[in-house]
Structures are given as C-alpha cells and as structure tokens.
Amino acid sequence: MDEKNYGTERQLSLDDLFDAPEAFGTGQSENNKQQSFTFGSNKKTFPIELVRDFDKFMSYIQSHPIQITKKRGYLSSKHLPFINQQLSVQAKDTTNYSQQEYYPYIHFFYQLATSAHLIKKELTRNHLTLTDRWSLYQKLSEAEKYCFLLETFWVDLDWSILSDHVYSSIDFVFPEMLEKISVECNEDMLEIANDSLLFNLLEKWSNFILYFEWFGLWVCKKDYQRVELYGKKLVFFAEKIKLTTFAVKVLSILLEQRDLYKWNIPLRRRMFGEINPIPGAPLHNEEAVEKEQSLFNVALIKLFPSGGVKTTLPRMERKFVSGRHTFKVSLNQSTWRTVVLSGDNTMDDLHHIIIKAYQFDDDHLYSFFMDGQKWSEDSIVSPLDYSSQSIATEVMIGSVGMHVGQQFMYLYDYGDEWTFNVTVMGIEEGETKPIKPYISAEKGKAPEQYYYYDD
C-alpha cells in the first residue's frame, strides 16, 4: 500500500478544518477531502470521509448477495477488490485471492458493522444479511453517524479481533502515549524513532495507529523501512505522528469521561467476568452511583454545533431467554449430536450433556470459547479453571445472548484437547422448557476417549 492511499497524508489536517468559518462548497478543490455540513448558521467540519466511506461499504453489501468464508465468516475474496475501488483509503499489492485482513480499511468497517449489529452473519448458509438497524442508521445525520461509529469502536468492538488477541498492551499504555504525544508535539510532527519510550509504546499497535487516524484523532506518516524490514503485509509502523486539534477535544472526553475499562463491553466480560455488562456502570470494586447512566454520545454533543447530534441507535442489550435451546455439537462432519436444554440451565449443564452424548468420562477441565478461537480470552470455563472470571456453573445459557446460527467452540481435556464445534440451531422462547437436558439426535460413532497401546 502506498503512502497516498494508506495513510491520512491525503487528508486535510483537522487543526485547520475544525474551526473553519465556512463550509466547503460544491466546487471544492481536490485537497478538500474533509467536507463540512451546516447546522443553522454555524458551519463546522470533522472527519466526514470515514462516515461516507462506511456508507459506501454498507451500500455495496446492501446491493449484492454476499458470501462469507466458512472458517471465520469474513467477506468472500471476490467482493473485496470491488469494494476497495470505491473507498478513499485503498489497499495496494493485493491479488484476487487476498483475504479480508489484507484490506485493513474494509476489515475495520466489517468489524464495526458486525459489532454495531448492522449486518448479521448467517453461518449455516455462509451468507451475510443486513439487519433492521441499518435502516435506522441511514436516518442519522452525518455527525450522528460519526458519533455512533466512534461509540461502536469504543464500546462494542472487541479490540482483540483487530490485533490477534494482544491488545491488552494497547489499552494499558494508551493514556501515557497520548499524553506524551500531546506534550512533545508542537507545530511539527513527532519523529517516533527519536523517542525510545514512544517507539516502544507503539511497537505492537500496527493497524491500531490507522484506526485512530481514520477517526481523525491524529495524522501519521508510514515508516516504509520498518514495514519492509518486518517482512509482513499486515503490519503498519508510523515514522511520524501528530495529534489534531479535534483529537485533543475528543480524546480528553474519552479518557476522562469514557474510561475504556468501564465502557468497552468485551473488555469488561474478559477482565471481570461480567456476562451482561452495562457500559459505563461502576466496576465490581467500585461503589454504585445513584444516578441514571448517560448514553455514550452525550459527552460528545458539545463537540458539534448546536443541534448537530440529537440521537443515536438504541443499544442492543442482552435479554434473558428462558425457552428451549437446541445445539448441534459436531466433532466432524460425519459425527455430531443434537442436544436440547433450557435457558435456565447453565453452561456447565451444556458441558455435562455433551460429555454424556459422546460417552466420555467427566474428569477433565473444559472451556467454551465463544469466538470460536482456541485459548482466546472470550471464554466460559469449568469451575476449577481459574483462567477466566466467567465460570460455567454461574452462567445460565439464557443470559449469554446467543442467536440462531451462532457457532462457538467447546474444548474438553486440556491435555488431549478434544474440540467440538457448537452451533445454535434453535431458540424457542414460547416453547415448553425441557425438564432436564437431553439428546435429541445423533450421527456417527463416538470416538474412543483414551488410546491404549500394547508394549
């Protein structure tokens, strides 16, 4: 990817744009990529290009039947070059067979759209569909769309998906890194290599540098030498970086009023074992404050002209589902079992019926990896496993927020690592709850749990 299309050097600095007295007209110059819009007599600008590119991404999905990959549920590679051509930030050096991760801008949009529940993956049909929320999103103003996408990134998106499960170092050093940049950046961009602390802080950020850049929070120049030295196309290093005026205003709100550890839902689940966390609510070791929790975008309203941000999409809160849950538990394509439980049963009950269905001895640890990735932190574990705060005996199936077509991994015996794919085949709220879990169907002979060899 070249500098023109992969960094934001092609974008105007928000230092100049944010306080621009006039909006750009229809005859704007080629350089004026960050367009403005009007609220009454006040005319302001902000990173609108991200919003309009996202609309183009979603419009493509709306107008095309989209197939997704079987393993990860990503966009089929045949669609990616066509989407890429329509966006202002384009991936280069890709082929017709390049997968979604090789298109960082598209990959970012895909994760935003999924986390915002604007699109839904139908894994049983390997197909992607739009949800009813997309029509609600289209009714938002461009300022409201920006705030909603920022909220999705900060609150709903699991950052580990974007960083191969190593993002803990990112959120940990985030405040320190921002403070250092804001102090040391004057008129010129900061040379990262000249500051060993900043260099080390940003070492593993890779495309996270771009995610914040695309939101208009800083500008950076790509370090081609380090990228080439690293030898991988999926990494990004910045040679220079500078906060924008817009960033100073937004980031002060995010860091002071929207603490990531309180507001990011996947982070709260992973670190504190909360199954249904409320964004912004006090953590387990904090005293509750008796006042209504404000919406995320309330803190951002003052950044925009009067009336610019009035509404957002309703949050997708998990509700408890007490009805009949049907799961298909597959060892492979020819060996599977279908089990039925109530939403009132626990994930530990699901473990026990799986073990019974495959005639295994119940004498080992186990984990459910809800993102389907072995040993990920998005897990619900057996009572004697202290690697997670989500314990299966304490988590009822109806509280997990499952949906039909969802797939996750069940791993039994940490030594032999028996792995099963679990698919949610049905959730029937109105049906009579089963008195106890049972096996409803099966195919294929159960494997031998232990192998014994003669001398």
Note the pLDDT tens digit of each residue in 51-108: 999 999 999 999 999 999 877 789 999 999 999 999 999 998 898 889 999 999 999 9
Q: How far is the C-alpha of 66 from the C-alpha of 120, rounded, in Å?
A: 11
Q: Which two tokens stand for residue 375?
A: 């040993």
pLDDT at 46: 54
Question: Amino acid identity, residue 76?
Answer: S
- Give pLDDT tens digits for 198-227: 888 788 788 899 999 999 888 889 998 888
- Give pLDDT tens digits for 319-377: 888 889 999 999 999 999 999 999 999 999 999 999 999 999 999 999 999 888 888 87
How many C-beta atoms lie closer than 10 Å to residue 2's C-beta?
Answer: 11
pLDDT at 19: 44
Query: Domain ranges in the chain?
Result: 3-250, 324-443
pTM, whole model, 2 decimals?
Answer: 0.79
Confidence of residue 21 (pLDDT cuts 50, 70, 90): very low
Percent of the chain with pLDDT over 70: 83
Contact predicate 188/274, CB 8 Å: no
Confidence of residue 271 (pLDDT cuts 50, 70, 90): confident
Host H or E run for residue 5: helix 3-6
pLDDT at 334: 95
* φ/ψ of residue 350, rounded to 5: -60, -40
Judged on CB neighbours under 10 Å (0-12, 13-18, 19+), 18 is buried
Confidence of residue 283 (pLDDT cuts 50, 70, 90): confident
Does pLDDT of 313 surpass 70?
yes
Does pLDDT of 277 surpass 50?
yes
Does pLDDT of 15 surpass 70?
no
pLDDT at 371: 81
* φ/ψ of residue 221, rounded to 5: -115, 130
**Chain-centroid distance, C-alpha 209:** 16
Does pLDDT of 8 surpass 50?
no
Higher pLDDT, 434 or 177: 434
How many C-beta atoms lie closer than 10 Å to residue 102's C-beta?
Answer: 20
Q: Which long-range contacts (CB under 8 A, 24 or more apart) does 372-380 make?
A: 372/407, 372/408, 372/409, 372/421, 373/165, 373/409, 374/409, 374/411, 374/417, 374/419, 376/160, 376/165, 377/160, 377/165, 377/270, 378/158, 378/160, 378/266, 378/269, 378/270, 380/347
Average pLDDT for the chain: 82
Judged on CB neighbours under 10 Å (0-12, 13-18, 19+), 408 is buried
pLDDT at 445: 94
Side-chain-side CA neighbours of residue 343 (13 Å): 19
Single out the residue of 82, 84, 121, 128 nearest to residue 102, CA to CA. Answer: 84
- Residue 180 forms beta bridges with which residues? none
**Chain-centroid distance, C-alpha 246:** 24
Contact predicate 90/372, CB 8 Å: no
Beta strands in 248-377 (DSSP E): 324-332, 335-342, 366-369
Which spans in 307-422 are helix H? Answer: 347-357
- Which of 31-40, 312-321, 387-396 has the lowest average pLDDT? 31-40
Confidence of residue 167 (pLDDT cuts 50, 70, 90): very low
Q: Which long-range contacts (CB under 8 A, 24 or more apart) does 256-261 make?
A: 257/299, 258/154, 258/296, 258/299, 260/154, 260/171, 260/174, 261/171
**DSSP 8-state secondary structure symbol assigned to residue 299:** G
- The region, left, alpha or beta by phi > 0 then psi within -120 to 50, assigned to residue 10 is alpha
**For domain 324-443, which architecture applies?**
Roll (3.10)
Q: How far is the C-alpha of 303 from the C-alpha of 428, rounded, in Å?
A: 45
